[in-house]
Structure 1
Amino acid sequence: MRTSAIGDVTHVVPLVRTLQAASPSTRLTWVVGKLEQKLVGDLPGVEFIPFDKGKGREGMRAVREALAGRRFDALLHMQVALRSNLLSLAVKADRRIGYDRARSKDLHGLFVNERIEARTGEHVLDAMASFIEPLGLAQTEVRWDIPVPADAHAWAAEQLPGETPTLLVSPMSSHTVRNWRVERYAAVIDHAMARGMRVALVGGPSPAERALADQILAAVKHAPLDLTGKDTLKRFMALLGRSQMILTPDSGPMHMANAAGVKVLGLHAASNPNRSGPYSDRRWCVDRYDAAARKFLGKPASEIAWGTKIEKPGVMDLVEVPDMVERLEACAGFLALPLGR
């Protein structure tokens, strides 16, 4: 059971792949959010039970009805929020494996009868991978291979034809304090386009994302391709397949990009990239988390609790345009992209 959010659901996919490789005959059922199912719901060999969070009790009742009369050998209860704890009662299982006491909250311990090992200093993906350790397994390989349908690939090819080096800019996090300033996004977009990169602005259909995109478009000197609100989760995965880099704060698109093998120019100050940054390669991120801890909490990051979020107004101002331009140029050099002067 992991219902949300997009990034965390992405982190669960390697666990599914590990279970399937270790025990091909095991039947897997995943209780997942309705939105998140649109990203992972076509993973082969997995039954999905969608949970519509927006429907409240009705959504929970739908999950109970879907699981009525069934019993499982084990429940991996990978979410600690009270709503998820209550939802877990729909799953009848002999073994109910949950988080260790330090990472539990909202009475999580009352809904499990086993716990994963207590650890700190690990990435969120590794924490989720540890849920299979009580089953006698270990995740030694991280593999996603999230399916992308042919129609999504065809749509992406229409938007991003040819082989031009491409930067996607996904500017908005659901935690808005993690977002960068409009003029700073615009400055990096202008730099990339001046160097000969194709830049596409991407985002969901919400009014807030549309408004942010419009502000960025008004601030740039050279307009990027505007795909805001036009893609779906699968279309976005297909766009990633035609791109080399993405500029984004800590957000679901960051982790989707990492799963697709795209280099992430990550913006980090409010959150620790070593815990929640792109799992596979954080070299291209700008990390100002320690500076944020010193400025807003009065101590270095090494002296605050692992996983502390420093979501203070102005925290992202610690990431400056030259920082990100330097990372973009370093990444372009690493990828040997054929850019102009």
Structure 2
Amino acid sequence: MRTNQLSGCVATLAVVLSPAVMLSIRGGTGYCFFVIFALALVYLGKAEHRRCAAALFREHRLFVLGLIGMPAVVLFQLAVFRSSTFPALDPFLRLALVVPSFFYLTSLAYRQLRLVQWGFVAGALGVGTWAIYAHFHPVVWVASGRLGNSFTNPIPFGDTALLLGFLSIVSITRGRRARIAEVAIKIAAFLLGGYASYLSGSRGGWIAVALLVWTTVGGRHWLVSRRARMTLGSAIVAFFLALGSTSIVRQRVDATVSDIKEMQQGNIDTSLGLRLQLWRASALLYSRHPAFGVGRGRLEEALNELAQRAEAPRAIVNAGAHSEFFSTLSQMGTVGVAALLLLYVGTFTPFWRNRLSADGEIATASYLGLAVVGSTIIFGLTIDALTLVMSAAFFALNVATLLACIEARKREIGEVGNSRALKRGRSARTKVDNSRPLKLARPPRTILVACPRRIGDVLMVTPLVRSMKTQWPEAMIDMIVFRGTEGVLEHNPDLRRVITVAQRVPLRERIADAAGIWRRYDLACAATDSDRALIYTWLAGRKRIGLVNADREKWFARLMLHRIALDWQLQAHVVSTTLELALLVGVTPRAEVVAPGIGPDLERRARFEARLNAPPGAMPAQPMVVLHLCPMYGYKKWTVDGWAATIRWLRAHGFAVALSGGPAQAERAYAAQLVVAAGEPILNLVGELTFGETAEMIRRAKLFIGPDTGTTHVAAACGTLTIALFGPGDPVRWGPWPWNWPVGEAPWARRGSGLRGNVYLLQGENECVPCRQEGCGRHEESTSDCLTGLRASRVIAVAAQLLGIQAPTQARIVDISR
């Protein structure tokens, strides 16, 4: 969905200004926060936008729950125990209120959201300029010898300035080559932000420097060179040694050493000593109120009571504990600490998962997010990092914006041309994976291919099996799949046997499965990016290769596999991706999807013939069209009225119509409903045939029509003319692979209907197609407007032209093959 252009511009401006004015205008970040929040409420007023938000919530559930956990606990204290205060709730409300803003921001274009980096730069340049001015005009200093401003004391001032400075250089892109002017400006911003932090003397915040340096250099390809790493490391060490010799740093270090010596002599009336006493008192309060603490905003009152009872020195009576952890521990108890940890984990995790993305823009946004979240966690060790309203708003809005950047970039990557994306992906892959061919001492005699996924996934792995069998005809190849999906491999000539495992089994059966395959194969392949496939491959193979998601690369996959191929998901067809595994072992890829069969058994063939020629649909002298009605999920289903109109037209033109489908009661009922609605003799074989028998029937048909489901893939592999009805599904990834289609050539574009080989992909016409969601209701049994609105006349027109007969309405058939 595209948001209104004006609101998008306003939101972009607010996103940029929020960090830019953080330390220069009192309340400036808060104003920006509520501008975006108001736009988000308007955006969520539309039902389609709320459906998008629901899908985002399901994808980022941990992130959203992390943001609402802390305010939920404070609200509970207010409502149930009346132990908290409304002013104490105010900063934490920013965490919850940013959730709708996150949903809204993801609808903006990436080019708008990425401008937030210039907000960081502007903020650092502004605070650095103020620091230079203050250096020459000491009268403006708010504390003796330490820089701050009129509304922020030196500690959060210095921490935020340090973060803004580092965010400026973290934002130097890891993708395209950065312009010299851009790099120069960002380095200047880093130096000025660091200078302001230096003048603040915020020694607690300096602990975060190691993390911030890591986020700055992380993901930089030029650091692959050992010489580059050593040079950078030497430069960093030299810089900090020089910094440590300056007067302010020496003064802060000497103060720390002096405090420690005073404490050793029994004098706790020092900065460090009083802080330790404050933390000890906070722990004491927790021991007396372990569940929910004394109440958020009640710490000063509780410390005063301890001081009156001589259980704590009066000098430590304070509204905060000078530590986010101890403040939460004392004021919110165990439940509050759990909510704080959920906030940290929930906001840190999505950025951590995306940091290794092959796309440089996503990686850069991920490291920016890690810098914001990680530094906030570290700052919270020595200050109340989220107690200030402006700090909470700054944190919440920036993590929401940066995660929205990642989502927007992924969406835009998915909309580029497939061939262009593949070229970019392959170029990046050579830098990040270990995909050079695995040297085998001899051709493997036994091979296991692991694909514990759905029926369509299993079928799409058969080109890899065919490639290996052709290269090594003496090899004995087995496949391990989930029970219930093995039918699509029925009588596959390339396989010795198919091992089936249950999706959910007791531990004892899992151990038995593992023992049955332990190191029995010369070569094992994880043909899909799943933990189960990875585990089976590690258990079974003496040599091991596998697919790993390029955007969420598992570190342990490199330990368990000898070679990996990166799966580019939405950028490449699953057949093309799987065949990358063939290249890892020096096998020539063959893009031939192998359909199941019924084998040479004469008795079985006779039974099949009898069933196929049974009334009421049998028309032995006339050609047959096979219709497959039901996909696995309801949101991929076409309408009964559409099928019925198509059947009547086919029967009127002398075609026998056969229905295929699985044994589920819902499929049988749907087929029976259609037979009644069509009012024509139909051979209803739903639930009556195996996958092999269904494939044999399709081979004899003139035409097959079906939705986005495994049987449609089988029809394409059989070489029969096929019409595939597509709605939410992405054809680039999951379009039927045409028979005899060449290796390395993508069959489908992301949008548009057309003919490739023997397959005509007929796509819904809605603007949102393909949304790659679970229908308009965002659940498996919802409906999809792009399919329910697909007119039967379009299907009939395409069928007529493929069959070479006159259609009632003319529709130009588009051949999008090269």
With structure 2 as the length reference, what TM-score do the two structures score? Answer: 0.37
Equivalent position amino acid for 2:528 in 1 = Q
The structure-2 alpha-carbon separation of the partners of 1:260 and 1:152, relative to structure 1 and needing over 3 Å to count, comes to farther
Of 770, 784, 787, the residue aligned with 1:314 is 784
Identity of aligned residues (%): 20
Of 607, 621, 624, the residue aligned with 1:155 is 607
Maintained 8 Å contact 2:728/2:784: no
Q: Who is 1:213 aligned against?
A: 671
Deviates more, 1:141-150 or 1:122-131: 141-150
Q: For 2:479, what is the secondary structure of its paired residue?
A: strand
1:6 aligns with 2:463: no
1:84-110 Cα offsets, whole Å, 9 max, x none, are: 444444324333322242375798666
Q: Who is 1:23 aligned against?
A: 472
1:186 aligns with 2:644: yes
For 1:107 and 1:214, the matched residues in 2 are separated by 50
Q: Who is 2:564 aligned against?
A: 115
Q: How many pairs does the alignment contain?
A: 321
1:254-282 Cα offsets, whole Å, 9 max, x none, are: 11111211221111111123431221136
Maintained 8 Å contact 2:636/2:775: yes
Deviates more, 1:53-62 or 1:242-251: 53-62
1:66 aligns with 2:516: yes
Of 131, 134, 144, the residue aligned with 2:594 is 144
For 1:198 and 1:211, the matched residues in 2 are separated by 21
With structure 1 as the length reference, what TM-score do the two structures score? Answer: 0.83
Structure with the bigger percentage of helix: 2
For 2:667 and 2:559, the matched residues in 1 are separated by 39
For 2:567 and 2:671, the matched residues in 1 are separated by 41
Maintained 8 Å contact 2:648/2:678: yes
For 2:557 and 2:773, the matched residues in 1 are separated by 21
Of 761, 765, 768, the residue aligned with 1:295 is 768
Deviates more, 1:171-180 or 1:210-219: 210-219
For 2:674 and 2:651, the matched residues in 1 are separated by 14
**What are structure 1's unaligned runs of at least 5 residues?**
335-341
The structure-2 alpha-carbon separation of the partners of 1:93 and 1:311, relative to structure 1 and needing over 3 Å to count, comes to farther
For 1:170 and 1:152, the matched residues in 2 are separated by 23
Q: Who is 2:625 aligned against?
A: 167
Q: For 1:208, what is the secondary structure of its paired residue?
A: helix
Q: For 1:51, what is the secondary structure of its paired residue?
A: strand
Q: Who is 1:50 aligned against?
A: 499
Larger radius of gyration, structure 1 or 2?
2
1:31-65 Cα offsets, whole Å, 9 max, x none, are: 12333333325334533352232552355334213
For 1:153 and 1:115, the matched residues in 2 are separated by 43
Q: For 1:191, what is the secondary structure of its paired residue?
A: helix
Relative contact order, higher structure (CA 8 A, sep 6+): 1
Maintained 8 Å contact 1:269/1:310: no
Q: Who is 1:262 aligned against?
A: 720
Equivalent position amino acid for 1:15 in 2 = L
For 1:333 and 1:66, the matched residues in 2 are separated by 54
Q: Who is 1:226 aligned against?
A: 684
Q: For 1:31, what is the secondary structure of its paired residue?
A: strand
**What are structure 2's unaligned runs of at least 5 residues?**
1-449, 614-619, 739-756, 777-782, 806-818
1:278 aligns with 2:740: no
1:93 aligns with 2:542: yes
The structure-2 alpha-carbon separation of the partners of 1:169 and 1:26, relative to structure 1 and needing over 3 Å to count, comes to same
For 1:108 and 1:214, the matched residues in 2 are separated by 48
Deviates more, 1:11-20 or 1:196-205: 11-20
Q: For 1:153, what is the secondary structure of its paired residue?
A: helix
Q: For 2:680, what is the secondary structure of its paired residue?
A: coil
Q: Who is 2:804 aligned against?
A: 333
The structure-2 alpha-carbon separation of the partners of 1:45 and 1:263, relative to structure 1 and needing over 3 Å to count, comes to closer
The structure-2 alpha-carbon separation of the partners of 1:61 and 1:42, relative to structure 1 and needing over 3 Å to count, comes to farther
For 1:50 and 1:176, the matched residues in 2 are separated by 29
Q: Who is 2:696 aligned against?
A: 238
For 2:524 and 2:498, the matched residues in 1 are separated by 14
Structure with the bigger percentage of strand: 1
Q: Who is 2:482 aligned against?
A: 33
Deviates more, 1:317-326 or 1:27-36: 27-36
For 1:181 and 1:104, the matched residues in 2 are separated by 40
Deviates more, 1:261-270 or 1:41-50: 41-50
For 2:572 and 2:762, the matched residues in 1 are separated by 19
Q: For 1:35, what is the secondary structure of its paired residue?
A: coil
Maintained 8 Å contact 1:188/1:324: yes
The structure-2 alpha-carbon separation of the partners of 1:326 and 1:74, relative to structure 1 and needing over 3 Å to count, comes to same
Q: Who is 1:196 aligned against?
A: 654
For 1:130 and 1:314, the matched residues in 2 are separated by 33
